[in-house]
Amino acid sequence: MEIQLTRRTFLKTTTLGLTGLTLGCSIGPWPFDRKFSNVTVWLTISEDNWITIMVPKAEMGQGVSTALPMIVAEELEADWTKVTFALRGELGDYSISGAMGVSGITGGSTSISTMFEPLREMGAAAKEMLVTACAQRWQVEPESLTARNSFITHSTMRSITYGALAEEANLLPIPENPQLKDPSAFSIIGQPLDRLDTPDHIEGRSVFGTDVKVPEMLYAAVRQSPVFGGQVAHFDPSIIEGTTAEAILEIPGGVAVVAKSYWEAEKVAQSLEIDFHIPEEMEALSSEDISQQLTQDLSTPGSQVRLIGDPIAAMESAPIKVEALYVVPFLAHAAMEPMTCTAKVTPESCEVWVPTQGARIVQAVTRANTGLDVSSIEVYPTHLGGGFGRKVESDYVTQAVLASKAVGKPVKVIWSRQEDMQHDYYRPAFKAELKGGIGESTGIVSWIGKSAGPSLMAGGFFDFMSTAGFSPLPYDVPNMSAHYVESDFGVPIGWWRSIGSSQNVFFVESFVDELAGAAGEDPLTFRGEHLKNNERRLAVLERVAEMANWGQPVVPGAAQGVALALHGASVLAQIAEVSVDSGGEIRVHTVYCALDCGGVVNPDIVEAQIEGAVIFGLTAALYGEITIENGRVRQSNFHDYPLITMIDAPLVKTTIIKSDARPSGVGEIGVPPIAPAVTNAIFAATGHRVRYLPISLYEFS
């Protein structure tokens, strides 16, 4: 999905209690004015020559608190050692009230791609204002001045800091069309600079959701219906008598216990006896029922997603025909930091401190639960201890707001790991049926695909989220069709890192390997033959083959598997080197990644994103499975929903292909290809096709 920047503008102000030069940048489709109602980025240059960029996106480890300031600093010609960042409303920094807007959703790998040009323009505009201020002060021509390393220097070598000019620059009009640098002159963008947030993380200064403390704060633990869709039928409030709990209240789907510490609240919550009203259709729901329903749904026509040529006729005449059924389970997000939120509700206002990917959503939810005007609601996003799409949701925000409203004091809600695991918004379970035809020249002449699973855009005319990676195909196929059948089981689903591509690339890349095998072709060569009309994708595939020395694994007895993925304008190819011992033990030794993501702001951050995505996706491929019994989740913690550990983690080698194209996303693209790369390698090693996940369900001995 490509997000269009429909309009942008720059604003400057001296009304925020800030000194020096302050510019605000508005990005998005909302109307702009000089009341700063939708400002999303702030740049401040103080008199002591420090430059602060307020980052409007959630920082959940992906590095936006460094990458976005780098873009501004490049055009500003800033001294990078004097650049810092602030999360919007971060504790210890000035806060931005609800009336001034909060950042939109952080997700879809869009932070850099949507903000690259606007942030460049903001930095360039600030630089021109500083140069103009200096020219006026010294009574010289602007052309005689040079801006570099946060200094303005005259041709006579006279110089002055940005900070010394900031107040004067703040009085000047903002340039409408600031001159941008030629990318060949970049000295900050493209460099592997150290992350700005690393010292704070190391020294414990970074504020995560569970770190928030406000005066008179109480804590809340929650007990929610163990069965999906259940609501509280009855509980006895007097149960807290004689305990250390201060209050107990009903929340949507459960109850919250409020106490002076989390452990006191959790102890009481665990002892509660609550009667829930359970929807009749959910009481007996099981994973087996879901599997049967998906199979039944695949027998229906579904909605046509794409049609090219005449795939049915081409299939009938194809000399080689292949069919396969693929299955993936529900998956949890399993972020290291469970859901948490702190709220302070008064009759006149509300403050919310929360790790969130959608601060505007938090604002809207708070308004709905308090009746307050948006101008009276302040949202303070913190660092996220993992997001992966889960923290776009707002259920935990509602709980904190309602608890604070009920007791009249600030309340921090913290979920236990069990509550987090069993009350997630899960990656949907899916099945896909694929049929392919191979022609006389061993190329794909027909491709017919149909997938079934819950929709992230239920009831929508066209669910491009659920079909991402399933259609269009990354390869040239003259005749193809794709259909999607929307299924609904009452299990809550949500955004999971890489969304629909997380399952669909597994389907597609596994089936491409099966077609290559039926055609008697090498899997990598076969893919290359279907990429002849796309030089960029072919170049990525060839680069990863070169990196991995395709066909000659480093580890004796290991085998290799390859997969390709697209995300927006980004292209990634992975080769996994895998061994399977005589006991069926699987070991992923090395994962090679070749990436073309357009221009790169910070290559170290890009590589870290790919490494993290590989580990995230590999964990799901090897072990990830949420199963349902009697309408409830069986898994409860990491003992039965395991994560990959360091001893089993592969070496990840990444090559970034240099490109002059505009930056595109990298946060999600590393997840989808790892499962098929590994399962294709397993086939090469054992002859067993892995058509359902997780891999741990198979026995290869």
DSSP assignment of 216-227 equals T-EEEEEEE-SS
pLDDT of residue 695: 97
Domains of the chain: 8-203 (3.30.365.10), 209-278+339-414 (3.30.365.10), 288-330+427-697 (3.30.365.10)
CA 255/CA 269 separation, integer angstroms: 8
CA distances from 515 to 362, 377, 544 (A): 47, 56, 21
Kindly state the average pLDDT of the residues 568-589: 96
39-53, 339-353, 540-554 — which is least confidently predicted?
A: 39-53
Work out the pLDDT band at 95, boundaries 50, 70, 90.
very low
CB count, 10 Å around CB of 485? 20
User: By three-state DSSP, how is residue 135 classified?
Assistant: helix
Please report the pLDDT score of residue 26 as a whole number: 67
DSSP assignment string, 34-67:
TT-TT--EEEEE-TTS-EEEEE-S--SSS-HHHH
Q: Evaluate if residue 462 carries a pLDDT over 80.
A: no
Q: What is the mean pLDDT of residues 438-446?
A: 96
φ, ψ dihedrals at 304, nearest 5° = -75, 125
The chain-wide mean pLDDT, for the chain, equals 91
| 599 three-state secondary structure | coil
Give phi and psi for 96, each to the nearest 5: -115, 125
Average pLDDT of 26-47?
Answer: 57
Q: Residue 278 — pLDDT band, cuts 50, 70, 90?
A: very high
Residue 460: is its pLDDT beyond 70? Answer: no
| 3-state DSSP assignment of residue 499 | coil
- pTM for this entry: 0.94
Q: How far is CA 312 from the centre of its chain?
A: 38
pLDDT of residue 329: 98
Spatial separation of the C-alpha atoms in residues 607 and 556, rounded to whole Å: 27
Average pLDDT over residues 397-413: 98
- Weakest mean pLDDT among 217-226, 520-529, 657-666: 657-666
Predicted pLDDT at 108: 85
Q: Going by DSSP bridges, is the β-strand pair 83-87/51-55 parallel, antiparallel, or unpaired?
A: parallel
Q: Long-range contact list for 24-29, CB < 8 A, 24+ apart?
A: 25/118, 25/119, 25/121, 25/122, 27/114, 27/115, 27/118, 28/104
Pairwise CA distance, residues 196 & 78, whole Å: 15
Is 108 or 469 the better-scoring residue by pLDDT?
A: 469
358-387 average pLDDT score: 95
Can you say whether residue 260 is alpha, beta or left, with left for phi > 0 and alpha for psi between -120 and 50 degrees? alpha
Residue 339 pLDDT more than 80? yes
Question: Cα(596)–Cα(535) distance, rounded to whole angstroms?
Answer: 12
In angstroms, rounded to a whole number, what is the distance separating the alpha carbons of residues 501 and 198? Answer: 31
Give the residues across from 41 on adjacent strands: 25
Tell me: pLDDT of 89 over 90.
no
Q: Dihedral of CA 106/61/664/611: which sign?
A: negative
Least confidently predicted of 151-155, 360-364, 599-603, 689-693: 360-364
Question: Rounded to whole angstroms, how far apart are CA atoms 60 and 392?
Answer: 12
